Amino acid sequence: MTTLPSPAPSPAAARPRRPVLPYAVIAWALLYGAVRVRWALVGSPAFPPLDTDLVVFTGWWAVALCAAAGLVGAGLAAARSWRPALAVAGWGVCAAVLLSCALLLLDVVGLLILDPGAAFHPGALLSRLACLAGAALLHAAVLQHRRRLRGDCRRCGRTGAAREAATTVPTWVRVAAWSAVAGCLLRLAAQLWVGFEDVPLSAGASMVAFEVGFLLAGVLLPLALAHSWGVVWPGWVPLLAGRRIPRLLLLVPAALFSVGLVCYFGVGLAQLTVETVTGTFDPGDGRYPLAFFWVAEPAYWLWGWGLGGAAVGHHLRTRRPCRGCGR
């Protein structure tokens, strides 16, 4: 019996689908960029008491950032092969957008402890969230470009042969976790040096929530990312002992908090360096000397980088084989 040849795929079926995310980036750049152009021309709304919604890239610099994101989006939409330079440019613009909305860390912390504080402004929060959305879209678009055109698995991004699951925690992950703990404790030591009179635990439920969250994010979370009891609930946890811990329960707060710390205190350290070198440091009400900031801000930055490294290690150690490629 003769077998009929299978029909050749139609040109439409053979052609890879055009990616959608680059166009989402272009749309974001046009919409958010139009808002920034208007504010640059006629003045932005008042955002008391900080008088700004973004940092580093403000005014026409924010417009330029939106334009750069739109150009990268157009490049990603037109690309028909893997372009490393385009990916580097995309992630560079993404990092700049993240830096510009660094004040979002203060908003999130304030909302989590149910005390946004006098520095909170709803309009500024919405602007920073829109800025963060642009960074997320741009990152996703570059990642999609990399997976589509470099030969990676489009579902998980992995390449090469399947690897066996790690049975031990790599040394670099433990170093990252303990670096985060060291940063947290160093920040506490700086506060101990100047005293706790201005931040008493009796200040109310919000301050108690802040202190508890501070220690959880600075000690328990990074260590959980680097130890077995961050994968399976330990025996002393009622009802959950022995069950596997949902990986996103640790990875989501670790990723968000680490990015927030690195961006916010990265900007703060740059500003502190300039003010120290030029002699323009403003002590404010004089409660904290310059030396305090040179201990506290690098401690926060170390905490952020360490937490991020521990999160990456936990992700690599606990991810399951991809349902798409089996790696």
End-to-end CA distance of the chain: 40
Whole-number CA gyration radius for the chain: 24
What's the pLDDT at 241? Answer: 86
pLDDT for residue 202 is more than 60:
no
Taking residues 186-200, what's their average pLDDT? 79
Tell the residue number behind the tokens 């989402």, with chain if given. Answer: 24
Reading the block at residue 174, the tokens are: 């433990």
Q: Work out the pLDDT band at 16, boundaries 50, 70, 90.
A: low
Instruction: Give the span between the Cα atoms of 44 and 53, in whole angstroms.
Output: 9
Helix (H) or strand (E) holding 41, with range, is: helix 21-42
Answer left, alpha or beta for residue 8, where phi above 0 means left and psi between -120 and 50 means alpha.
beta
Q: Which of 30, 68, 58, 31 is nearest to 124 (CA)?
A: 58
Reading the block at residue 39, the tokens are: 């504010």
What's the pLDDT at 135? Answer: 97
Q: Work out the pLDDT band at 268, boundaries 50, 70, 90.
A: very high
Question: At a CB cut-off of 8 Å and minimum separation 6, what does 313 contact?
Answer: 169, 170, 172, 173, 176, 177, 225, 226
Reported as a single tens digit per residue, the pLDDT across 112-171 is 887 777 678 899 999 999 999 999 999 999 999 998 888 777 767 776 555 655 668 899
Reported as a single tens digit per residue, the pLDDT across 214-245 is 899 999 999 999 998 999 988 888 888 889 99
Q: What torsion, rounded to 10 degrees, do the Cα atoms 142, 315, 133, 296 define?
A: -120
Taking residues 96-105, what's their average pLDDT? 94
